[in-house]
Amino acid sequence: MAHDPLLDTHESKTFPPSKHSPYTNTVIVRNNPSFFRIAREIAKNDKDRDEMFLVDEIESSTDAMKPIKFLHVPTNQLQKLYRAQYVRWVKQQTGKGKIERYSVLIVVGNGRGLLGLGEGKGLDYMSAVSKAFPQAVRNMDYIERFEDRTIWTEMETKFGATRIILRPRPVGFGLATNPIIHEVFKVAGIKDASAKVWGSRNPYHVMKAVVRMLLPGHMPTLMGNGIGGQGRTMEKGREMRSVMEIERDRGRRIVPLHT
């Protein structure tokens, strides 16, 4: 087995048999020193291997702990990701006055069904993006696409005062949607779809609502409505929902996990 400089780095001590135990015992202490520091040293010294951490052009001691450094994704793969972002100016009221910061909501994907959402705040634009982009990469997940071009069925959601309906369309229809939804669909790899937005058209809410609709349902079956809502309080006399009904509500297939 090949030696792994990260996982195999440890301190060990062997205790021989004694009157208390007839066996030989070995105690291993791992993560001392931290394997994150070892990984940075390996990436710095090994110039021939593809970089495992995204290194900025200007390296400083304060940049050593940036979240982007700990993404175990090659630099060339990060540069190929598509992005769609929304930037706004926010203020935090404190006892000493108002603190003004940038807030960035960013969506990343590969244009082939991979999608992730991240949010970050900072005193300047670059610091906010440096927080939002790693979070979006970590949150990436595959979405279900019909024929790798559109959504499976019509979907509807409500996020705050924003209400959105997404509809699948035939081949060659294109994207007839809100500009924010249009950018999210391009990042996700959806080519034929239409959408309608009612109520608030706040880009912040629209982007979050669309990503929540496309990603797999985060509510378990019969816990809420299965697609993010609270569901009905009284379920007496109602039989268990079928797989087809749940798939139609969620807009994606259910993959069985039984082996």
pLDDT digits (tens, 9 = 90+) for 64-113: 456 666 666 777 888 888 888 999 998 888 888 898 999 999 999 988 88
Arithmetic mean of pLDDT over the chain: 77
**Nearest-5° Cα angle at 14, 9 to 18:** 165
Condensed to tens digits (0 to 9), the pLDDT of residues 140-173 reads: 888 888 888 998 888 888 888 999 999 999 999 9
Q: Are residues 102 and 128 in contact, defined by beta-carbon separation less than 8 angstroms?
A: yes
Q: Is the pLDDT at 135 greater than 70, yes or no?
A: yes
Higher pLDDT, 44 or 193: 193
Alpha carbons 163 and 158: distance in angstroms, whole number: 4
Q: Which helix (H) or strand (E) holds 181?
A: helix 179-188
Q: What is the pLDDT of residue 54?
A: 38
Beta strands in 3-135 (DSSP E): 10-15, 25-30, 82-94, 97-109, 114-122
Question: Confidence class of residue 244 from pLDDT cuts 50, 70 and 90?
Answer: confident
Q: What is the pLDDT of residue 57?
A: 40
Q: Is the pTM of this model over 0.75?
A: no
Task: Determine the number of helices (DSSP H) and then strands (DSSP E) in the chain.
Answer: 6, 10
